[in-house]
């Protein structure tokens, strides 16, 4: 299972699209985001795509390099999503799952559009707000992760206004309960296995994950937080 909002569902949708449209071997795929190694490995192998994976922090780069074997031939790089090193019109496909819903979204999407070929495909999954006004405890969750989610029903308009055609739009909000439950179970197991020093070192991160999980599962944040997957074509 892919432990990101949207779980395996977003990748399933782009797989169905690619199976129907038969990409050419050697076409270029960019996967952007931490914890996306399985996505990069599966899509590149399944469709014989030349794949690059970019992350924005050093720890994610280390984790990716440990998980991806040499035989997978995936280039892992540390880059700011809004300022990559890639040439214009470089990629045939870009995949981003829960990795662009940030305060830098406008710059990121502008950069992704620059490096995507005309008629190229962009599979994007975004955290959204289910209501236009969210209570302070939900806003605090977003602020702590530098997130700036768009209103659920306005997400597709955001992309069409920026020169993309919507090929498919799927509401994946229902995956979030499973995602947060899995997160909590995994955190409980990992916490028990940590040394005393590790618990001190990761205390802030552990508290953040625990707070977000409890807010969603127990305190009503599920009424305000959604997730939507889009398949877009660059015009």
At 71 the pLDDT is 66
> Parallel, antiparallel, or unpaired: how do β-strands 150-151 and 116-129 relate?
parallel
Domain count, the chain: 2
In this structure, the answer to whether residues 195 and 160 fall within a common structural domain is no
The answer on 196 and 127 residing in a single domain is no
Q: How would you write the pLDDT of the chain (235 residues) with one tens digit per residue? A: 788 999 999 999 999 999 999 999 889 999 999 999 999 999 999 999 999 999 999 989 998 998 898 767 899 999 999 999 999 999 999 999 999 999 999 999 999 999 999 999 999 999 999 999 999 999 999 998 899 999 999 999 999 999 999 999 999 999 999 999 988 888 777 777 878 777 776 676 677 778 788 889 889 999 999 999 999 999 9
Q: How far apart are CA 77 and CA 215, in angstroms?
A: 33
CATH number at residue 63: 3.40.50.150
Q: Give the range of the structural domain holding residue 196, as residue numbers without chain letter.
A: 177-218
Same domain, yes or no: 158 and 61: yes
- Looking at the structure, tell me whether residues 130 and 203 fall in a common domain: no
Give Cα separations from 53 to 59, 74, 142, 186 (angstroms).
14, 7, 25, 24
pLDDT on residue 211:
79
Whether 165 maps to a domain, the answer reads yes
Looking at residue 184, its pLDDT comes to 82
In a domain, 122, yes or no: yes
Same structural domain for residues 109 and 191? no
**Alpha-carbon span 153 to 76, nearest angstrom:** 34
Contact 80, 14 (CB under 8 A): no
Residues 135 and 229 in one domain: yes
In terms of domains, do 15 and 104 share one? Answer: yes
Predicted model pTM? 0.93
Integer Cα distance of 110 and 79 in angstroms:
15
């Amino acid at each position: 299972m892919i432990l990101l909002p949207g779980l395996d569902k977003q990748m399933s949708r782009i797989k169905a699209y690619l199976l129907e449209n038969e990409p050419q071997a050697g076409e270029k795929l960019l996967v952007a985001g931490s914890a996306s190694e399985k996505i990069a490995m599966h899509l590149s192998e399944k469709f014989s795509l030349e794949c690059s994976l970019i992350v924005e922090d050093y720890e994610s780069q280390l984790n990716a390099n440990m998980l991806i074997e040499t035989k997978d031939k995936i280039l892992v790089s540390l880059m700011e999503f809004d300022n990559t090193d890639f040439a214009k019109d470089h990629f045939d496909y870009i995949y981003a799952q829960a990795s662009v819903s940030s305060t830098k979204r406008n710059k990121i999407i502008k950069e992704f559009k620059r490096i995507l070929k005309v008629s190229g495909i962009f599979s994007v999954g975004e955290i959204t707000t289910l209501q236009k006004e969210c209570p302070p405890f939900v806003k605090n969750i977003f602020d702590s992760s530098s997130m700036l989610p768009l209103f659920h029903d306005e997400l597709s308009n955001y992309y069409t206004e920026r020169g993309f055609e919507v090929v498919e739009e799927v509401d994946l909000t229902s995956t979030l309960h499973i995602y947060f439950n899995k997160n909590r179970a995994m955190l409980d197991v990992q916490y028990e296995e940590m040394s005393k020093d590790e618990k001190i070192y990761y205390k802030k991160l552990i508290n953040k994950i625990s707070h977000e999980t409890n807010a969603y599962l127990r305190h009503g944040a599920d009424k305000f937080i959604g997730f939507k997957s889009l398949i877009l074509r660059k015009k």
